[in-house]
Amino acid sequence: MNGPTFSRRQFLLSSAALGVGSLGLSSLPAFGASAGGTLRIGLNITPNKLNPMLTRLNSEYMLAEMLYSGLTTLGHDMSAQPDLATAWTSNEDATEWRFTLRENVVFSNGQKLTSADVVASFNKLLDPETSAPGRRNLGPISRVTADGDHAVVISTETPFGDLPVGLTYPTAKVLPAGLIESDFAGFDQTPVGSGPFRLAEFKPDQVAVLEKNPDYFIAGEPYLDSVEVRTFPDAASAAAAMLAGEIDLLNEIQPTDYQRVADAPGIEGLLTPSGRFLDIVMDNSRPPFNDKRVREALSLSLDREAIVELVAEGFGKPGNDSPVNSAYRYHDEAPLKSFDPERARALLADAGYPDGLQLELVASVKPGYRSSLAVVVREMARASGFDISIKTMDHPTYLDQVWKKGQFYVGFYNMQPTEGTIFNLLFTSGASWNETRWNNESFDALISEADRTTDTARRAELYAEAQRLMREDVPAIVPCFFDLLAAKAEYVEGYEQHPRGANYALHKVSLADNAPTR
């Protein structure tokens, strides 16, 4: 086929595409480190899904990133960087994009990766029957076509300048076209990807062992021979394993354990500010939360600065009932909502609850600060007339029975690459995870226009108005943002926390010469 015409002004080649990997030269581990060895990682949330298009949890994102590749990957500055695509261009109004593919890529079954695999993968990912989480976060994609064996053209329904960033979403991986057609369910048991590692062993709730992919398209990477991902029953046992030297990297630490682990000899604590947050999810479509006065009353019942200290142990920032904080480009600064139980009680009375309101708040036990927040909310809201009981449950039960279905529960979400991504994930009427069922037409219109415009000043105005609308209407309560907390052994080289909280780049990690031999 003939591709669309692309202007030089719209040329969006990332400088990273010119790195040694894309030129076929060998990359090298950090100075003082050696190639080879086994990295042991500790998790306390079990990865359940191996099919990358169906992943939902950070632990699943980690495995998918090691086993598969996407067109683009997310840089630490939240910009799109090359993965399978080495360069991309758009037409003048950003409705057609051409992605140039690497030519040296093979899947773990030995099959060469071509544009046909990319087209088949996106068609499957975008098919509503696939039920891929975050499908809408890729952008308003209308069509994906091949332009020869090593390029694809992606068309969008409306202008969308963030498409290369949207394609970094963790579920947007490329799978072999033939297997998508013949045995898509098989990816749940047998991964077939082009990532830096291959799966050698998988025991749910115990361990996943991944071995170096000798055919990985970046010469010299990964540096490690293998990675062992071990699952622990809870955060405390994972922290104990880190302290005992049983694991080399703990990529998630509860705030209550962080300082003790970070101060231990031979361990380096890692802290990165982020847009990760907890929220109080309220079903806006049903009583009592279909009444804005009830939602606002609960919002005014919380001392947000105290929540940062009590729940995040000081490792975070207060939230203002918007999922966007200063870690985002278009954050709209506003005075922090005050703790005002008197005003909250008056709002409850106006809403028809002069004697208070009884509620049940559900919280998963993982991560542990979900239940911590639930307890703090219960205690703080008493003064406003809320009588809240708490129901905790294991995480798989929460995902199956409560998430996106419940009326009142504690949510937990990573930072997203852009404001539009987080809004379209959770809060627009067509959101992938429309758990609040707010369905506000004015908000939808703001986000839709912001997604379409390439005028940064206009986009800033639209996102600011969207944040203001959320603060005023309170579809969900966002009281706290969290720093990312992790720890690694001092001999682990090249690992950097990503503020997104769902990117790991373990193919760039190596072990220093003084690492234990195993």
For residue 24, count CB atoms less than 10 angstroms from its CB and return exposed for 0-12, middle for 13-18, buried for 19 or more.
Answer: exposed
pLDDT at 2: 37
What is the structure's pLDDT at 14? 36
306-334: pLDDT as tens digits: 999 999 999 999 999 999 999 999 999 99
* Rounded distance between C-alpha atoms, residue 298 and residue 340, angstroms: 10
**How many other CB atoms sit within 10 Å of the CB of residue 356?**
15
Q: What is the CATH architecture assignment of 274-482? A: Roll (3.10)
Q: State the pLDDT at residue 5.
A: 36
Give the pLDDT score at 17: 37
- Residue ranges of the chain assigned to CATH 3.40.190.10: 1-18+34-248+491-518
Distance, C-alpha 130 to centroid of its chain: 20
Q: For the chain, which residues score pLDDT lower than 50?
A: 1-26
Beta pairing, strands 357-364 & 207-212 = unpaired
- The beta-carbon contacts of 159-163 under 8 Å, at least 24 apart in sequence, are 159/93, 159/94, 159/95, 159/452, 159/453, 159/454, 160/94, 160/95, 160/451, 160/452, 161/90, 161/94, 161/454, 162/417, 162/418, 162/420, 162/421, 162/451, 163/90, 163/94, 163/97, 163/138, 163/139
With beta carbons less than 8 A apart as the criterion, state whether 42 and 238 touch.
Answer: yes
**pLDDT for the residue numbered 136:** 83
Domain with CATH 3.10.105.10 in the chain: 274-482
Would you state the pLDDT for residue 11?
35
Specify the pLDDT at position 133: 85
- Four-way CATH pick for 1-18+34-248+491-518: 3.40.190.10, 3.40.605.10, 3.40.50.920, 3.20.20.140: 3.40.190.10
The predicted pLDDT at position 442 comes to 98
What are the backbone angles phi and psi of residue 348, rounded to the nearest 5°? Answer: -65, -40
Q: What's the pTM value of the predicted model, to 2 decimals?
A: 0.88
Question: Residue 31's pLDDT is what?
Answer: 57
